[in-house]
Structure 1
Amino acid sequence: MTSEEPTSSLPYKLNRQNQAQYHRNIMLLEKIIDAVILCGKQNIPLRGHRDDSTSDSSNKGNFLAILQLLAKHDEHLCSHLQTAKKNALYTSKTIQNEIIQIIGNHITGKILKGLQGRGFYSIIADEVTDKYANKEVLVLCLRFLDSREHPAIIREEFIDFANIERTTGEAVADKLTEILRLLAIPIENMRGQAYDGASAMASEKRGCQGRIKSLNQLALFTHCRSHVLNLSIASACKLPLVRNMIDVLNSVFIFFDSSPKRQRFLETSIENDESVDFSRKKLVGLCKTRWVERHVCFDVFYSIYKCVVKCLQNILNQNLNESTDEDWSWDRQTKVNAQGLLTSMTSFSVLITFVFTRFVLDTIKPLTVKLQKSDIDIFTANKLIGEHVDRIKEIQDLDIVVKTPRVCSKQQHRENMATNNPGDYYRSVVAIPFLDFLLNELDTRFQKEDLAAYSICSLLPVYITNLSNEELSKLASKLQFWVNDLPCLSIQDLEKELKDWRRYCVNMSKETSDKLCNLLNLFNYVDGDVYPNVKILLHIGCVLPITTCEAERSFSGLRRIKSYMRSTMHEDRLTGLALMHLHHSVEIDPKEIVELFIRQGKRRLFQSSLFS
């Protein structure tokens, strides 16, 4: 009896052949996944109008076109696309959806790894109407402290899009809790929730925040600070003169924007004006919803004001336009509209109101930018708001002396102040009412809803060093709100640790104290072994939300992804594509996706050919 060499046996040869085929199939699958990742991250539509196997269209979509391009440089992929059976190509919409969903779950899993440890977090949610599919879409974002980084960082991350049947507080709360349950995120670890001020979201009894609080009393509600600032400015701009000025700006914008010919004439006037090098050649419209962004419109209008006036004058009198040889002819209605706009723009009441309103909005502009940062905390936001309110209070005098409008017995569209002094008139009808109204709105709307949340700010060295023993006892009582999160056994233990922390801060150098100017810096500085309660309280303070800007940014991504050509996209596919597109910086390893794809269902990996 003779023995064969193991390497020459039939089972060994078949096994080697299967292994080689297996690795080739894996490589093919990786290239298919690479194409999906490319389309998802770059927001490239995958499917064509006719991309199924029965279509004879030459254009079957970007996904298949990318695969065909790769096949020109890969003979295995080329052979697969040409010879594999139609039901085994692994390029169908069903396989696409599976891969997209796996990639989305993979990205979500990477994000949620930041919730390891105590896992405190806050939710940020908002709702928008998908105008193409005519559906209500709810977005969920998480704010948490990622301690995997050194130092730790505050992160606000998009998690999910979900269609909702109704926008009642109950429906929104149920959908949010359902998403958290599916993602295995414990609602007990939620410490904050941020929404807009709509009653369905903000109501304490029947709104979303009230229903979430019934499940977790520690989930403190924050009315988006950017929305609050927006509402304050919008209310102040209801003054008659301010309202009229805004109408004039909007009418001038529409006059030029609605006509390519008039817009080109304005651009020609700006180009021929050699006195100033203008970077802007087009007026900017007033934002309909974000009032705090109107300073951009004001800045552009201010910079090209003279050119706009000259352009309107040239439309009325063509003989004035000597800067160009082109023949510009205008119909009667255009001249009538130009005359009305020119009269309004050169009115002193409009000009003085415009200059003053622009000055006040420029004062608030840095605040609007800072509030949109994802890593801002409650202390920094409150401090910035206070500083800008104080700056507005410093605005007092208007050193302009021009004639006042006439006074009549009854007037509804402007103020009817009986005075002959122009300075007193505009100070009385514009400056004082606008500032008083704005300051009153800011003071009223920016009240501290949750004193317990703002009491965490007292742990900063700049504050705690000035607290007496009695004030420290009151602070400990307020911080007992989170007693279940703290390792201290009693309020006396917490008070003792606060006294030790105060003593440490008193002996701290001024340079160190100045660096610890916000909750995040202080969290990274504090030793959790020595001051465990202070460390946990700072962790909670860092995750408390300030605005819903991350949700708004997610809606911008939604508008880029969900176009009228993709109006029937399913919810899971939309979420997967959005996760790839909005988390563009997240590294995705195709090999990991292949493993997840194989595990998800029974795959013919060890047959003679994976795709046959």
Structure 2
Amino acid sequence: MKQVTLGGFLTKRPRPNLNESGEGSSQTPITNQSIPSVSNAIPQTPCSNETNDGVDLKDLPKDPADRPMITSYASNIRDDVRRANLLQGPCQIRLHKFPKKKIGDRLRSFVPSWFNDFDWLEYSVKNKKAYCLYCYVCGDLMGQKGGRDAFVSQEVLLSIRQEIGQDVFALLVDESSDVSKKEQMAIVLRYVDSLGFVKERFIGVVHVKDTSSLTLKNALNEVLTSNKLSFSQIRGQGYDGASNMRGEFNGLKALILQENDTAFYVHCFAHQLQLVVVAVAKKHDGVSDFFEQISLVVNVVCASCKRKDMLREQARQRVQKGLCSGELETGRGLNQETTLVRAGDTRWGSHFNTLTSLVKLFADVLVVLEFVKVDGGSLANRQQASGILAYFQSYEFVFYLYMMYDILHLTGTLSKQLQKKDLDILEAASMVRGTMDALQSLRDTGFATILPKVSSFCQTHNIATLEMQDFYIGARNRTTTKTNRFHFEVEIFNTVVDMQLTEYRDRFSETSTQLREYMGALSPCDSFSQFDKSKLLKLAKLYKYDFDDSDLIDLEGQLEIFYHSSIKDERFTTLKGIFELSRLMVSTGKHRSYPLVYKLLKLALILPVATASVERCISKMKLLKTDLRNKIGDEFLNDALLCYVETEALVKVDNEKVMERFQKMSARRGQI
């Protein structure tokens, strides 16, 4: 049999500078004995070979088995570690007695002459395996996994498919353009795993020629089919409010419902919440002008490096003075450097972050505005800064600032909760109702609590305060017949909060549909106080492909027995939601005793709440495909992004499985 060489598996790189005899290059092969010292390669400076983190670049591990992953080093020294490893060169032990392994009918071993042909090749004596130095240095996304993204991503997808099997799932989809102006559609599946945990897994990103609903459906069908999944397994859909996604007649939602009428649609809760904030910011004149002025101040203050440096320096001096006087406390995470945050209609929670940063930096912002007012580059800039400064130093601005801060604080808390992956639809609806109750309470008693905050802020920053019993002075300094209290409490505070409540009721009207009313009967809270067998049977009838007539009869009996056995079991009396019920049923084995009850529970759990998981995938896509990597192909982007997003599944991928997949792609002359 012909001897197998490494060149049989890899393309040999042309080697220049051959001598006349045709022998190898005159350059001495790199060995551990001839590895160039880092100290010789880098100009010597005090402590040049030791980083601030205590890593000695001259004493990095040579054996590949001993090297920690590049990502385990601090981010500020990773490039230094990469450079030191490259200067150190590959671990090429030429005089080692390499162990032999039986492959086929012959004993084979690593051949040291391969080091001459492949300057990146190295060998680990401890692991008895060959490695690629460049893969270690540049393969941060892969850690120390072998193989290319294409092979590993297939193993990641396989593990996700095995978790789902033939079970049902919900579909989360969103699209966005990448840096190359290609429209990319990201797909996430939501399902319940074998342990009763809710999972949201990314399965791919697809380039679509346009964003019409039919194009999206066809692309979606191809992805599901390639993963041995189908539209018949879908039991829920979650998208944003775009017409091509949620259209009643021709949207993606409608097209999938034609294929499967049990794929119930849920409008992303987090997106609806952002629409509530944006709607009020546009409909109320005072609030609209308030956010417009804040947008202008961000533009003015952050317009140049000089102004931003001035803002940072003012903040540093203020913090230093506060620490010396004892007004500010020291501690981990306190007094961090911050800057003004721009509010965006499509960025969840950005309006609240903007107000938070402005409250912290208000005094520093005033200093920058004073500077621009006097030394602005043009008359327009000076006039703009003067106008913003006059508005910011008014009592009305401070009132709007604290009123919107309190309102958006409630909204921001809800937004963060809605972005949890394992949040179920019942808990989300409960949180929305709780936020509406908190807003109603704020309307009833909030005005009295805001006034002291406004007065204190005005005194701190030398802003003139108003007496609530005096007559309100309107535009052009005209005295009106209404008092300041009536203007601020009735015309501003009550009106804005009422608009918020109205938007909540309009946007979240779907939370009171029959589907969620029936699901509420599954809640284990307060010892199954909401349990209603008739509602649960009606819920099962909505899923006609999962429960036939005989199943409904059996389900009725299982529900009755499950209820009476659970209320007497102490483990089930303290549960706080159906997500905890699912996990406990699996851990106690009740999912096998009451399979139809557990099936109904899973159908309730997989209904999507928010598209936050898809949004995160798109954000990570923009970290992979950047201006400097704008020619990444669609297939490579999909493979790399899958490995980048699904790190939990990636770490479980076995190298042997990747090698086996590569081996089966085509006939090989030897076993890898």
Regarding TM over 0.5, the answer is: yes
Deviations 1:48-86 (A, max 9, x none): xxxxxxxxxxxxxx99999997635466563232599xx
Counterpart position of 2:363:
306
Following TM superposition, by how much is the alpha carbon of 1:502 offset from its aligned partner in structure 2, in angstroms?
3.1
Q: What's the Cα RMSD here?
A: 3.8
1:201-350 alignment runs, 5 A limit? 201-238=245-282, 239-273=284-318, 274-275=321-322, 277=328, 278-313=335-370, 316=373, 331=377, 333=379, 334-350=381-397
- Distance of aligned partners of 1:486 and 1:83 in 2 relative to their CA distance in 1, 3 Å threshold: closer
Deviations 1:189-238 (A, max 9, x none): 21111111111110132110111111111111111111010111111112
Give the Cα–Cα distance (whole angstroms) in 1 for the partners of residues 530 and 608 of structure 2: 26
Give the Cα–Cα distance (whole angstroms) in 1 for the partners of residues 572 and 551 of structure 2: 31
Give the Cα–Cα distance (whole angstroms) in 1 for the partners of residues 666 and 86 of structure 2: 24
Match of 2:623 among 560, 569, 586: 560
Counterpart position of 2:90:
71
Report the TM-score, using the length of structure 2 for normalisation: 0.71
Q: Secondary structure at the match of 2:670?
A: coil
- 8 Å CA contact 1:142, 1:156 repeated in 2: yes
1:436 aligns with 2:501: no
1:384-533 alignment runs, 5 A limit? 384-396=431-443, 397-399=446-448, 400=451, 401-402=467-468, 406-407=473-474, 419-448=481-510, 451-462=514-525, 465-466=528-529, 472-486=533-547, 489=550, 491-509=552-570, 512-514=572-574, 516-526=575-585, 527-533=590-596
- 8 Å CA contact 2:301, 2:368 repeated in 1: no
Q: Secondary structure at the match of 1:272?
A: helix
Give the Cα–Cα distance (whole angstroms) in 1 for the partners of residues 230 and 529 of structure 2: 38
- 8 Å CA contact 1:209, 1:221 repeated in 2: yes
Deviating more after overlay: 352-361 vs 338-347: 338-347
1:590 aligns with 2:655: yes
Deviations 1:526-579 (A, max 9, x none): 312332221111111121111111110001111011112222222111111111
Deviations 1:363-407 (A, max 9, x none): 222211111111111111111111111101101342334566545
Give the Cα–Cα distance (whole angstroms) in 2 for the partners of residues 601 and 404 of structure 1: 87
1:99 aligns with 2:163: no
Report the TM-score, using the length of structure 1 for normalisation: 0.78
1:178 aligns with 2:222: yes
Counterpart position of 2:34:
none
- Distance of aligned partners of 1:529 and 1:64 in 2 relative to their CA distance in 1, 3 Å threshold: same
Give the Cα–Cα distance (whole angstroms) in 1 for the partners of residues 72 and 235 of structure 2: 32
Counterpart position of 1:157:
201
1:129 aligns with 2:177: yes
Following TM superposition, by how much is the alpha carbon of 1:138 offset from its aligned partner in structure 2, in angstroms?
0.5
Following TM superposition, by how much is the alpha carbon of 1:488 offset from its aligned partner in structure 2, in angstroms?
6.6
Q: Secondary structure at the match of 1:489?
A: helix
Q: Secondary structure at the match of 1:605?
A: coil
Counterpart position of 1:166:
210
Give the Cα–Cα distance (whole angstroms) in 2 for the partners of residues 83 and 73 of structure 1: 9
Q: Secondary structure at the match of 2:265?
A: strand
What runs of 5+ residues in structure 1 fail to find an aligned partner?
A: 1-13, 29-33, 45-61, 93-97, 318-328
Give the Cα–Cα distance (whole angstroms) in 1 for the partners of residues 93 and 407 of structure 2: 62
Counterpart position of 2:102:
none
Counterpart position of 2:461:
none
Give the Cα–Cα distance (whole angstroms) in 2 for the partners of residues 201 and 583 of structure 1: 25
- Distance of aligned partners of 1:266 and 1:39 in 2 relative to their CA distance in 1, 3 Å threshold: closer
Following TM superposition, by how much is the alpha carbon of 1:467 offset from its aligned partner in structure 2, in angstroms?
5.8
Q: Secondary structure at the match of 1:496?
A: helix
- 8 Å CA contact 1:234, 1:291 repeated in 2: no
Q: Secondary structure at the match of 1:155?
A: strand
- Distance of aligned partners of 1:125 and 1:65 in 2 relative to their CA distance in 1, 3 Å threshold: farther
- Distance of aligned partners of 1:74 and 1:139 in 2 relative to their CA distance in 1, 3 Å threshold: farther
How many residues of Structure 1 are paired with residues of Structure 2 in the alignment? 533
Following TM superposition, by how much is the alpha carbon of 1:22 offset from its aligned partner in structure 2, in angstroms?
6.9
- 8 Å CA contact 2:540, 2:547 repeated in 1: no
Following TM superposition, by how much is the alpha carbon of 1:103 offset from its aligned partner in structure 2, in angstroms?
1.6
Give the Cα–Cα distance (whole angstroms) in 2 for the partners of residues 24 and 248 of structure 1: 68
Give the Cα–Cα distance (whole angstroms) in 1 for the partners of residues 591 and 549 of structure 2: 13
Deviating more after overlay: 367-376 vs 286-295: 286-295
Give the Cα–Cα distance (whole angstroms) in 2 for the partners of residues 160 and 40 of structure 1: 24
Give the Cα–Cα distance (whole angstroms) in 1 for the partners of residues 281 and 404 of structure 2: 9
Give the Cα–Cα distance (whole angstroms) in 2 for the partners of residues 445 and 83 of structure 1: 59
Residue identity in the other structure for 1:518 = G
Following TM superposition, by how much is the alpha carbon of 1:279 offset from its aligned partner in structure 2, in angstroms?
2.5
Counterpart position of 2:188:
141
Deviating more after overlay: 378-387 vs 68-77: 68-77
Residue identity in the other structure for 1:598 = Q
Following TM superposition, by how much is the alpha carbon of 1:39 offset from its aligned partner in structure 2, in angstroms?
10
Give the Cα–Cα distance (whole angstroms) in 2 for the partners of residues 290 and 505 of structure 1: 43
- 8 Å CA contact 2:472, 2:479 repeated in 1: no
Following TM superposition, by how much is the alpha carbon of 1:134 offset from its aligned partner in structure 2, in angstroms?
1.8
Compare relative contact order (CA 8 Å, sep 6+) and give the higher one, 1 or 2: 1
Residue identity in the other structure for 1:283 = L
- Distance of aligned partners of 1:336 and 1:64 in 2 relative to their CA distance in 1, 3 Å threshold: closer
Q: Secondary structure at the match of 1:433?
A: helix
Residue identity in the other structure for 1:600 = M
Identity level (%)? 20
- 8 Å CA contact 1:389, 1:439 repeated in 2: yes
Counterpart position of 1:196:
240
Q: Secondary structure at the match of 1:528?
A: helix
Give the Cα–Cα distance (whole angstroms) in 2 for the partners of residues 174 and 102 of structure 1: 25
1:604 aligns with 2:663: no
- Distance of aligned partners of 1:230 and 1:417 in 2 relative to their CA distance in 1, 3 Å threshold: farther
Following TM superposition, by how much is the alpha carbon of 1:496 offset from its aligned partner in structure 2, in angstroms?
3.2
